[in-house]
């Protein structure tokens, strides 16, 4: 790998900026100041330092983000603030959101540069669980719940797959449910509730692929996945039931 590319991927600066930094002698490779941006380095074997601080390269990174409202699920956008921009200095050029949440939807979004894993998680054939906390315009009847859980017509070629609905205790006149899906059609949760003559007032994804959104993450905050969480995600775990149970006790304001 070229040295300037290595530095760009670690978000040291733009391509032009890192070239200038290299020529200024601020970067060393195995203790020797580098002078050429084209210097070939092995990111896993060579000791590379910037201004005396050793740099650590990882091929793939995985971040759990608590997406806030008003931010678009994209790597770049000419007009809107993106979820990748929330990573600050961790925002490598190759990072992207694995899937999308609407601009007004909050909660768990995976940010990574592992395209293969993202493809597996988003593949319709995998049926990866996604659990949402939805505040509704009004309560659901038993018939509504049955229709949602059995699959219903939302204007697609096929009905939605069977899902799981859990009605939460009404608080201060607000009606809320936990809805676990195994697919990800466009605006699916909103369209499903509209199909039973209801409306989503607020929507938050609290679990994805067997992982629960960390309750310590405030909107806009993120953290790296632990090794165990990454194992669960890679195994295609569907342990959203446990995530649902924990989510109802995590102080969610519904």
DSSP secondary structure string, 174-227?
BEEEEEEES---TTHHHHHHHHTT--EEEEEEEEETTEEPPTTPPTT-EEEPPH
Contact 44, 71 (CB under 8 A): no
Give residue 18's domain range.
3-54
User: Do 180 and 162 fall within a single domain?
Assistant: yes
From the list 84, 152, 139, 122, the residue with the least C-alpha distance to 236 is 122
Q: Which residues are catalytic?
A: 102
Q: How far is CA 200 from CA 148, 159, 189, 235, in A?
A: 14, 20, 8, 32
Beta bridge partners of 132: 179, 205
User: Do 36 and 68 fall within a single domain?
Assistant: no
User: Do 35 and 92 fall within a single domain?
Assistant: no
User: Do 138 and 39 fall within a single domain?
Assistant: no
User: Do 41 and 75 fall within a single domain?
Assistant: no
Residue 56: pLDDT band by 50, 70, 90 thresholds?
Answer: confident
- In the β-sheet with 27-29, what is the strand arrangement from edge to edge? 32-33, 27-29, 48-50, 53-54
What's the predicted TM-score (pTM) here? Answer: 0.79
13 or 207, which is more confident: 207
Residue 252: pLDDT band by 50, 70, 90 thresholds?
Answer: very low
Calculate what percentage of the chain has a pLDDT beyond 90.
74
Residue 239: pLDDT band by 50, 70, 90 thresholds?
Answer: very low
Domain boundary among 30, 54, 78: 54
pLDDT in tens, 67-92: 999 999 999 999 999 999 999 888 88
Asked whether residue 254 is assigned to any structural domain, the reply reads: no
CATH of the domain at 200: 3.30.2350.10
CATH of the domain at 14: 3.10.290.10
CA atoms of 124 and 120, how far apart (whole Å): 9
Residue 40: pLDDT band by 50, 70, 90 thresholds?
Answer: very high
What is the number of domains present in the chain? 2
User: Do 49 and 80 fall within a single domain?
Assistant: no
Residue 58: pLDDT band by 50, 70, 90 thresholds?
Answer: confident
How much is the pLDDT for 110?
A: 97
pLDDT in tens, 123-177: 887 889 999 999 999 999 999 999 999 999 999 999 999 999 999 988 877 999 9
Residue 238: pLDDT band by 50, 70, 90 thresholds?
Answer: very low
pLDDT in tens, 14-33: 899 999 999 999 999 999 99
- Mean pLDDT score of the chain: 89
User: Do 48 and 66 fall within a single domain?
Assistant: no
How much is the pLDDT for 180?
A: 97
């Amino acid at each position: 790998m070229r040295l300037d590319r290595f530095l760009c991927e670690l978000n040291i600066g733009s391509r032009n900026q890192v070239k200038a930094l290299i020529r200024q002698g601020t970067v060393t490779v195995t203790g020797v100041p580098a002078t050429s941006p084209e210097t070939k380095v092995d990111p896993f074997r060579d000791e590379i330092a910037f201004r005396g601080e050793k740099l650590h390269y990882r091929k793939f990174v995985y971040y759990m983000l608590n997406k806030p409202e008003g931010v678009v699920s994209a790597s770049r956008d000419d007009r809107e603030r993106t979820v990748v921009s929330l990573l600050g200095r961790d925002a490598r050029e190759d990072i992207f959101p694995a899937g999308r949440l609407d601009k007004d939807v909050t909660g768990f979004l995976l940010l990574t540069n592992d395209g293969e894993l993202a493809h597996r998680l988003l593949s319709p054939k995998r049926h990866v669980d996604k659990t949402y906390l939805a505040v509704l315009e009004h309560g659901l009847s038993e018939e509504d719940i049955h229709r949602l859980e059995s699959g219903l017509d939302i204007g697609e070629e096929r009905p939605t797959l069977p899902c799981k609905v859990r009605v939460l205790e009404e608080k201060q006149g607000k009606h809320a449910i936990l809805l676990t899906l195994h697919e990800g059609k466009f605006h699916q949760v909103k369209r499903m509730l509209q199909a039973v003559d209801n409306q989503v007032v607020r929507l938050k994804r609290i679990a994805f692929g067997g992982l629960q959104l960390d309750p310590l993450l405030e909107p806009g905050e993120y953290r790296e996945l632990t090794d165990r969480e990454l194992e669960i995600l890679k195994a295609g775990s569907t342990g959203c039931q446990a995530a649902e149970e924990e989510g109802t006790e995590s102080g969610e304001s519904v």
